[in-house]
Amino acid sequence: MNNNDKISPAVIRRLPKYYRYLGELTKMGLNKTSSRELSEMTGFSASQIRQDLNNFGGFGQQGFGYDVENLRNEIARILGLDKKYKIIIIGAGNIGQAIANYTGFYEADYEVVALFDKNPKLIGMSMRNALIKDIDELEEFLNVENIDIAVICTPKSVSQQVAEQLVQCGIRAIWNFAPKDLKMPDYVHVENVHLNESLFSLTYYYNQMNKKKSE
């Protein structure tokens, strides 16, 4: 268990997938699995799966495999899915509202406690249990509440400025949906969801396929 070494981001991005497939195995009533079986499900090689898991410890049993529930719990613990997280969303437009209403976060205990916007038409509305507040109240709010994660769903023109304000108020984890790369100090982690970049690469591959077809 070398918890102190830096784990490659590629490994971290595979963990949620293992976690998801282990959940499916549980649902199917299976309590034992192997790197070979996980390989078939995920498409990653069995060797890679064993390498990945052994970054965090030996969760398997030689000659036997892995206990599904145990391995799932271990991955949950590694990712931190065994804890509660309070989230705020900045920008209550299309994307902000969609995230607020998104039910796909059930795996862990994520709670959207508030949204912030500057549009008076939106302020005062509520999404699920979260109220849309005036962006001017953001700092005051952050001084009182203990927020773990901030989601940026503003237009890109203000995203950098909003991010800086968040960091000044103590936020250290940002989930960024604005199509812009935020310049942030090292102690802030930014996870980007760049929808346009995703769509552009899909477009590239779509055209590649059409090219091949017409050859």
Partner DNA sequence: TAGATTGTTAATCGATTAACAATC
Q: Which does 46 bind (CB under 5 to 8 A by kind): a copy of itself, DNA, none?
A: DNA
Known binder of ligand: residue 99? no
Q: Are 141 and 132 in contact (CB under 8 A)?
A: no
Q: Which stretch binds DNA (CB under 7 A): 34-42, 139-147, 188-196, 206-214?
A: 34-42
Q: Which of 16, 24, 30, 36 binds DNA (CB under 7 A)?
A: 36
| The amino acid at 201 | S
Shortest gap between Cβ of 190 and DNA (angstroms)? 19
Binding site for a copy of itself (CB under 8 A): 9, 12-13, 15-17, 19-20, 42-43, 78-81, 83, 85, 94-95, 97-99, 101-102, 104-105, 107-108, 110, 148-149, 172-173, 175, 179, 181, 187, 189, 191, 193-207, 209-210
Known binder of ligand: residue 91? yes
Q: Which of 5, 10, 185, 205 binds DNA (CB under 7 A)?
A: 10
DSSP notation for 66-114? EEHHHHHHHHHHHHTTTSEEEEEEE--SHHHHHHHH--TTTTTEEEEEE
Strands 126-127 and 84-90: unpaired
Q: Please, is 129 exposed, middle or buried when counting C-beta atoms within 10 Å of its C-beta (0-12, 13-18, 19+)?
A: exposed
Q: Reading across the β-sheet that carries 32-33, which strands appear in turn?
A: 32-33, 65-67, 60-61
Q: Are 104 and 167 in contact (CB under 8 A)?
A: no
Considering the rule CB under 7 A, would residue 124 count as an interface residue with DNA? no
| CA distance between the termini of the chain | 52
In degrees and rounded to multiples of 5, residue 104 shows phi and psi of -80, 5
Shortest gap between Cβ of 30 and a copy of itself (angstroms)? 18
Minimum CB distance to a copy of itself smaller for 139 or for 197: 197
Site for DNA in 49-108 (CB under 7 A): 50-51, 53-54, 58-66
Minimum CB distance to a copy of itself smaller for 42 or for 73: 42
Q: Are 34 and 66 in contact (CB under 8 A)?
A: yes
Considering the rule CB under 7 A, would residue 8 count as an interface residue with DNA? yes
Please count the residues of this chain forming the interface with DNA, following the rule CB under 7 A: 25
Q: Coil, strand or helix: which one is 115?
A: strand
Residues annotated as binding site for NAD(+)?
91-96
Residues in touch with DNA (CB under 7 A)? 8, 10-11, 33-36, 44-48, 50-51, 53-54, 58-66
